[in-house]
Structure 1
């Protein structure tokens, strides 16, 4: 019912056809060309969203120097993103995304079958992995797991270190946060790489 033309609109179309109109498509007409919702702006917005999934429409508008309305059109109707838990995610996964998800899940399953509980203890889900953390992981030559798009990032777990750190620092008093940071950094430097 909602997709039917109103009675008035039907009469208008009948009049147009009686006057010689032969097509139902819009007639070509002159209009101002789009200047904000363009391919380069869409590409740039997509790159910025991939870089920071928490970015806001206002921030994108300021970075792209276009209006908030144009950014909203670009993000929602051209890139087909929507906000979920304050993060931009695509409305639906494309076939390629589904294939990557399937491959990642299959790889994770094989890892679990090979290593069992030891594999589960070696990962922790996080919201974000900082650039410096990634660089450190590459330097240490740790194996990074592929994972499905828009799932929390996976990283080697350091939870087992907390118990050891806690027992080594037990009874110590610190005057400020800098003293704590320095002590923890020294503690990490003294440990051998086999601990990690």
Structure 2
């Protein structure tokens, strides 16, 4: 019998809630993972994650939420830092990460992360361009134009 897929996504916390309930019912992690896979498909957490959370719930864990983690929070790619990088890149698309770092005061590694992850840019022929180009942009990509 083929299982029906539910449209939409199931969050990680919702999957943890299901893991918790099924663990308390005595179901094994492989069975829980299989049931989650039927509903979530490719968005299912790994089998090792199901086992890890199942063990935690078996040992008495109550919360399905992540525990607070020590260390410095990730702040380099928040909107306050993305905008200055985007603005500086608009002025000169041939600028390097190091130059952007000097202009914005953001570390070069964070500048690179902002460019590639947030702004979806990559360096081609010394210019930062979008990852995916439209048909018109592909046609004009090799003509000599200012940034």
Tell me by how many angstroms 1:55 deviates.
Answer: 0.7
Matching residue within 42, 46, 57 for 2:82: 42
* The structure with more radius of gyration: 1
Q: Does 1:5 align with 2:20?
A: no
Does the residue aligned with 1:126 lie in a helix, a strand or coil? coil
Matching residue within 102, 105, 111 for 1:62: 102
Structure 2: unaligned runs, 5 residues or longer: 1-41
Structure 1: unaligned runs, 5 residues or longer: 106-124, 129-149, 151-196
Within 1, Cα distance between the matches of 2:145 and 2:132?
21
TM-score in terms of structure 2 length: 0.52
Within 1, Cα distance between the matches of 2:118 and 2:110?
11
TM-score in terms of structure 1 length: 0.41
CA deviations on 1:10-40 (whole Å, 9 max, x unpaired) are 43222112123452x5345565344432312
Match of 2:119?
Answer: 79
Within 1, Cα distance between the matches of 2:128 and 2:76?
20
Matching residue within 17, 38, 43 for 2:57: 17
Map 1:85-164 to 2 at 5 A.
85-92=125-132, 125-128=143-146
CA deviations on 1:101-144 (whole Å, 9 max, x unpaired) are 59xx9xxxxxxxxxxxxxxxxxxx5332xxxxxxxxxxxxxxxx
Tell me the matched-pair count.
Answer: 100
Within 2, Cα distance between the matches of 1:34 and 1:91?
24
